[in-house]
Amino acid sequence: MYAPISLDTITLLERDTGPVPNDAARLRIVPLSPGIGARIEGVDLSQPVPDAIKAALRQAWSDHLVILFQGQVLTPREYRDAAAIFGTPQEGANRRYYQEAGLPTQDEVAEVSILSNLGPDGLPVRENDGLGSLEVVWHSDNSYIEKPPVGSALYALEAPADSGRTSFANQYLAYETLPEDLRAAIAGRRAKHDASRNSAGVLRPGIKKPTTAEEVPGPFHPLVVVNPETGRRALYLGRRRIWPSQYIEGIDHAESEALLDRLWAHATKPEFTWTHSWTPGDLLVWSNRYAMHHRTPIDETRRRVMLRTQFQGEAPTAG
């Protein structure tokens, strides 16, 4: 284990032009795929954002589940304040595991964490205490807690465009296109959300790897959730590792595995997805309740440094 990167040691982006005051007349919302994602144009998040623009951004987030801002030049505090347009920024749940294990954490802006593929010498590595340069499986952030965040935001400081791509899958569409037999099979069911390992498969500090279903830590959440504001239903699968990991409550192991295999294969079909190739200055905000995401492996010879935060949420509402 090693000390986390300090906000004081990261290299921030620099402006090549002056900031531009925000004006609703310049706001553009450009869909990025038929199923999910939109690009926001004409907004500088380092500058004050009028209420009318904030409302339009929140609506775009609700409509498209993932929104992309490009060319943003932000300090960590400006990034946190920009994220607050979409919800209350909160500390990542993984931080608690480090604190309980007596390990150091990044404390300068507690709601902002640094997501990187760097080792203790500041050079890129394949594996570190976090996600490293590894592939990150399809998941919803922090689904392994009772009240998972409703959304997340990631801001690129250093990012190779040809690796570490992030894909998103619309879980409204996933539920709405489920075969009828599968929809009936999961109605009213809950699944265990495995807290033992992160989404790169790394065991969390202070946690013993489970050997039986009973040992899998984490809450049960409904497999189908509903948006309380719109009434629209979505799949909520969260995360799944190699067994013993996620399982469906109240049915035998073989049936649970068979249903989960079908659900995961359906939920991540290409027609529900959009993939982003990162450039420094990109900021993505996504729904953590009605979308999942996946990261391809990163070129472990190149640095990748991002700022991350998430938005406080309540327990998912069963659909």
> Using one digit for the tens of pLDDT, what is the confidence trace for 117-159?
999 999 999 999 889 999 999 999 999 999 999 999 999 999 9
pLDDT given for residue 100 in this prediction = 44
Provide the 10 A C-beta neighbour count for residue 106: 19
d(CA 89, CA 80): 7
Q: Rounded to whole angstroms, how far apart are CA atoms 180 and 239?
A: 23
Contact 204, 197 (CB under 8 A): yes
The encoded tokens of residue 176 equal: 């709405």
Structure tokens at 141: 């952030």
- Residue 318 DSSP code: B
Nearest CA to 38 out of 55, 70, 56, 61 is that of 61
Which 8-state DSSP code applies to residue 124?
B
pLDDT value of residue 97: 41
What does the DSSP 8-state code read for residue 151? Answer: E
Look at residue 107 in the predicted model and tell me its pLDDT. 59
Cα separation, 251 vs 307, in Å, equals 40
pLDDT score, position 16: 82
Closest CA to 161 of 70, 287, 291: 70
- Residue 190 DSSP SS3: strand
Q: Which residues of the chain have pLDDT under 70?
A: 1-6, 8-9, 92-108
Q: Length of the chain in residues, anyone? A: 319
pLDDT for position 98: 44
- How many Å apart are CA 189 and CA 184, to the nearest integer? 10
- pLDDT of amino acid 102: 46
Residues 6+ apart with CB under 8 A from 248: 186, 189, 190, 191, 192, 223, 255, 256, 259, 260
CB-facing half-sphere around the CA of 186: CA atoms within 13 A: 30
Instruction: Give the CATH fold of the 7-311 domain.
Output: Double-stranded beta-helix (3.60.130)
